[in-house]
Structure 1
Amino acid sequence: MADEKIIPTLYEWAGGQAALEKLTEVFYDKVLKDPLLYPVFKDMSGDHSKHVAHFIAEVFGGPKLYSEQDNGSHASMVAHHVGKMLDETKRKRWMALLLETADEIGLASDPEFRAALVGYLEWGSRIAVMNSTTTENPVKEGEPMPKWGWGEPGGPYQP
């Protein structure tokens, strides 16, 4: 099938691991300087930005670094938000800083990619806020990692 087009993953379109690690590194540097977000993230580990880059990479169709190298899971990512008491003001600031950073580092800016990126970030950040007000992780170990693509029907999960 020579004329069959191969559609790149969001991970590939974003620029791969190096681009996502740069995004999260620059972003979390900003977070630590932000008066609203600093209290939430002040105790994060030195590896936090890399783990988040690994998570996003896996969700966007890249290598399974988060689940295999970092020994993480969807449940463990959600667990980091449980009890943090996030709110809409913090969520919006988090979103604004992340999208500002994406522009600053030159992450792919075409409308299709940015729509997928913003869709994922809106979905994930709203779930983080919901889970931050609970005391128990609603995601059980062994549940699949989210998978995000170019807006395929069926939502972010694909078996």
Structure 2
Amino acid sequence: MTNPIPTLYQWAGGSDALNRLTARFYQRVHDNEILAPIFAHMDSEHPQHVAAFLAEVLGGPAEYSAAHGGHPHMIRQHLNRHLSQAQRREWVALLLDTADELGLPDDPEFRSALVGYLEWGSRLAVINSQDGAEADENAPMPRWGWGETKGPYLPPGG
């Protein structure tokens, strides 16, 4: 029997939606005075890597882990970058604003789950960017779901 409740990945619109989100987000980063310096030397494939990571975290295919080595790889990308809380907050706010711009689902259940992951993940990135942080080579890939909700918001008649 298949699960009638879609994953967050499916609800967001799958890989196409997440690739559009990260592509547009990183376009906007270039004009953001707080974030632009962090990503000034970003690889052209960075948006696709972030989209694949988000896809896997939100219940989609494990392509990021297969191609890059999962969560330990992501942690290593943040080591010694000395990210600040102001940069973290700006990153989360701009990503959510971009989600609104592109029309990603804005129902309360989905957005609370998305915000929950972005808050958790971005705070972890700040911690892992400070002096002395190390990547745990056994760190499992985070998997985010609907949390305490009974499932996704369905509009009347949906």
Q: TM-score over 0.5 for the alignment?
A: yes
After TM superposition, give the deviation of residue 140 of structure 1 in Å: 2.0
CA distance in 1, matches of 2:115, 2:65: 23
Gaps of 5+ in 1: 154-159
Aligned partner of residue 39 in structure 1, secondary structure: coil
Q: Is 1:42 equivalent to 2:40 in the alignment?
A: yes
What is the distance in 2 between the residues matched to 1:19 and 1:50?
Answer: 11
Is this contact kept in 2: 1:73–1:141, CA < 8 A? no
RMSD value over aligned CA atoms?
Answer: 1.7
CA–CA distance in structure 2, aligned partners of residues 148 and 25 of structure 1: 22
- 2:33 is equivalent to residue 29 of structure 1: no
Q: What's the offset of the Cα at 1:152?
A: 5.0
State the percentage of identical aligned residues: 54
Within 2, Cα distance between the matches of 1:49 and 1:126? Answer: 20
Aligned equivalents of 1:72 and 1:51: distance in 2? 12
Q: 1:72 aligned to 2:69?
A: yes
2: CA distance, partners of 1:84 / 1:26:
23
Which of 133, 138, 146 does residue 142 from structure 2 map onto?
146
Residues 6-155 of structure 1: matches in 2 within 5 Å? 6-68=4-66, 70-137=67-134, 139-151=135-147
Query: In the alignment, is the contact (CA less than 8 A) between 1:85 and 1:129 conserved in 2?
Result: yes
How many residues are matched? 149
Q: Which residue of 1 aligns with 2:155?
A: none
SS in 2 for 1:86: coil
Aligned partner of 1:157 in structure 2 is none
Q: Distance in 2 between matches of 1:35 and 1:21?
A: 23
Q: Which amino acid aligns with 1:39?
A: P
Structure 2 gaps, min length 5: 150-158
